[in-house]
Amino acid sequence: MERKGRCNNVGICSMAGKVQIITDDDAEFVCSDCGEALEEVTEDVATPSGSTGGKKSKLPIIIAAVVVVLGGGAAALFMGGGDKKEETPAKEPVEQVVTEPVKVDEETPVAIPDGLDLGYAVFQGKVQDGKPHDDNGVLTFKQKHVIESRDLKKREANPGEKVIGIFENGHLVTGKWYKADGNVETLIIGG
C-alpha cells in the first residue's frame, strides 16, 4: 500500500513541505530526512519526481499564471505601459498654493496662515483691517524693538523673544513677555 505524507519540520528539515511516498506497509510513517512524523496527504499533489497526481494539482499553477498576466497588464495600464521613454532624474516636488482673495466683513478678524510680518516682528493670530486683533496673539520679534508704542516704560524685546496676549486694533492690551533669559514679565499697557 502506498501512503503520502508531508514533513512539517520547517526551518530544520530539508524535506519540509515536500510530499514523501512510503510504499513499505511495515515502515514507520516518518520523514526520511529528519525522522519526524509525516502529516498524511489525501489529495492529489505533486510527487517528489515532479509528476502530478491529477488535474487538481495543475489548477493553482494555472491560476497563478493568470494572476501574473492580468497583474502585469493592469500595472502597464496604470503606470503608463507601452512605449518606453527616456528616464529623467526625479525632481523635487514643488508645492503650489493657489489663493483666492477672501471677502470678509471688515469688522471680522481673520487669521493669516503664515503670520503678519510687521518688519520688526511676526504676528501669529487673527488680523482685522491689516492689524493684530486677537485674544491670544503671538508676537515673535526679529530685531530689537519697543514692544508697544503706548507703553510708558518703552520696554524693548530682543530678537527671538515673544509676547503672547490680547491685541486690539494693532495694539497690545495685556500679555506675557517671554524673554531670552527665561524670565517672563506680565505686561499691562495703559490706553
Provide DSSP, 64-94.
HHHHHHHHHHHHHHHT--SS-----PPPPP-
Model confidence at 49: pLDDT above 60? no
Whole-structure pTM value: 0.44
* pLDDT for the residue 135: 92
| Beta carbons within 8 Å of 107's beta carbon, 6+ residues apart | 128
pLDDT band at 44 (very low <50, low <70, confident <90, very high): low
**16: β partners:** 7
Higher-confidence residue of 157 and 107: namely: 157
Mean pLDDT of the chain: 77
CA 34 to chain centre: 46
pLDDT in tens, 75-103: 666 665 455 556 666 666 666 655 555 55
Average of per-residue pLDDT across 130-144: 94
Neighbour count for residue 121 (Cβ, 10 Å): 22
* pLDDT for the residue 13: 82
pLDDT band at 60 (very low <50, low <70, confident <90, very high): low
The C-alpha cell that represents 180 in the structure block: 531670552
How far apart, in whole angstroms, are the C-alpha atoms of residue 169 and residue 121?
Answer: 16
Sequence length of the chain is 191
Q: Are 160 and 182 in contact (CB under 8 A)?
A: no
Model confidence at 67: pLDDT above 80? no
Q: Are 172 and 188 in contact (CB under 8 A)?
A: no
Q: Which helix (H) or strand (E) holds 178?
A: strand 171-178
The C-alpha cell that represents 72 in the structure block: 502585469
Q: What are phi and psi of 77, to 5 degrees?
A: -65, -45
Average of per-residue pLDDT across 146-158: 93
Average of per-residue pLDDT across 169-182: 94
pLDDT band at 54 (very low <50, low <70, confident <90, very high): very low
Lowest mean pLDDT among 38-47, 50-59, 114-123, 126-135: 50-59
Neighbour count for residue 177 (Cβ, 10 Å): 20
